[in-house]
Amino acid sequence: MTDTQKATGSAVIKLRNIHKSYGAVEVIKGVDLTAHAGDVVVLIGSSGSGKSTLLRCINLLENSQQGDISIQGEAVRWKTSKFGRTPSDAEQVRRFRTELSMVFQQFNLWAHLSVLDNVIEAPVTVLGENRTAAQERGRALLEKVGIADQADKYPAQLSGGQQQRAAIARALCMQPEAMLFDEPTSALDPETEAEVVRVIHALAAEGRTMILVTHDMKMAREVASHVIFLHLGKIEEEGPPQEVFGNTKSERLKQFLSSTQ
């Protein structure tokens, strides 16, 4: 995306006034977010602040009750349901989910498939790609994340860090417009966490569009182009990392950052 496109408002992901409730409990309370091509938007905040819920709303794994969601300039189409609203176009949802690859906390690899087959399963079955071509790209992506030698093993034979890197390769194999990471290192010990952090750093350096929920403030400082601090479902503070971390204005954010040091 060119600077001109950015200036005219074109975005890969755009949220406006998003609200999400579970019964009487409102967990997202009017959040705006924009990610242009190459942006790394990092969501931080305490447990229960709404970070992961917001990420799942972007990928339509959760239905928000109010507000606008646009992917590549195309707005999600909604219809009224007994729960408020639900997407009205199943094909649009399917297409958006191929454009937004998500990496979860718990890897979610298929135990009965080899690592390589995990990586290529969606491109072959969802996108209809040639299996041989997908295998070639899959092996290249496993090389990219540093586990090419694990391609023929099964997930149970891998460490947690290796499984998460396999999950990242699987997400990349869909050739998405943006990647969504939900606490990708929270289930890992410090040594294996470092392996995954290095991969995320490399993806940020090559200009991948990403929205990242993380508890790792060091990584947030280093990879983010924009940081959003969520508190009780609202944006308490946001801005470039040097401002959010170096010139913090919110007292609640100051408390949060001091507790993570």
CA trace torsion 29, 35, 40, 46 (10° rounding)? 0
What does the pLDDT read at residue 3?
A: 43
Bridge pairing between strands 210-213 and 226-231: unpaired
Domain count along the chain: 1
CA 157, CA 180: separation in Å to the nearest integer? 26
Which domain range does residue 142 map to? 3-260
CA 116 to chain CA mean position, Å: 22
Can you read off the two tokens belonging to residue 15? 């949220």
Query: Could you tell me the CA-to-CA distances from 183 to 10, 55, 186, 197, 251 in Å, in that order?
Result: 27, 11, 5, 11, 24
CA 35, CA 14: separation in Å to the nearest integer? 6
| HSE value, Cβ hemisphere, 13 Å, CA-based, for 72 | 10
| pLDDT in single tens digits along all 261 residues of the chain | 334 334 334 799 999 999 999 999 999 999 999 999 999 999 999 999 999 999 999 999 999 999 999 999 999 999 998 878 999 999 999 999 999 999 998 889 999 999 999 999 999 999 999 999 999 999 999 999 999 999 999 999 999 999 999 999 999 999 999 999 999 998 888 888 999 999 999 999 999 999 999 999 999 999 999 999 999 999 999 999 999 999 999 999 999 999 987
Whether the CB-CB separation of 226 and 246 falls below 8 Å is answered with no
Whether the CB-CB separation of 227 and 240 falls below 8 Å is answered with yes
**Sign of the four-CA dihedral 157, 163, 167, 169:** negative
CA 259, CA 261: separation in Å to the nearest integer? 6
CA 89, CA 14: separation in Å to the nearest integer? 19
Q: In 3D, which of 216, 213, 217, 218 has the Cα closest to residue 230?
A: 213
223-229-230 Cα angle (round to 5): 135
Can you read off the two tokens belonging to residue 189? 């010990």
| HSE value, Cβ hemisphere, 13 Å, CA-based, for 229 | 22
CA 183 to chain CA mean position, Å: 9
Q: How many residues does the chain have?
A: 261
Query: Could you tell me the CA-to-CA distances from 28 to 22, 230, 251 in Å, in that order?
Result: 10, 9, 21
Which CATH number does the domain housing residue 195 bear?
A: 3.40.50.300
Bridge pairing between strands 40-44 and 210-213: parallel
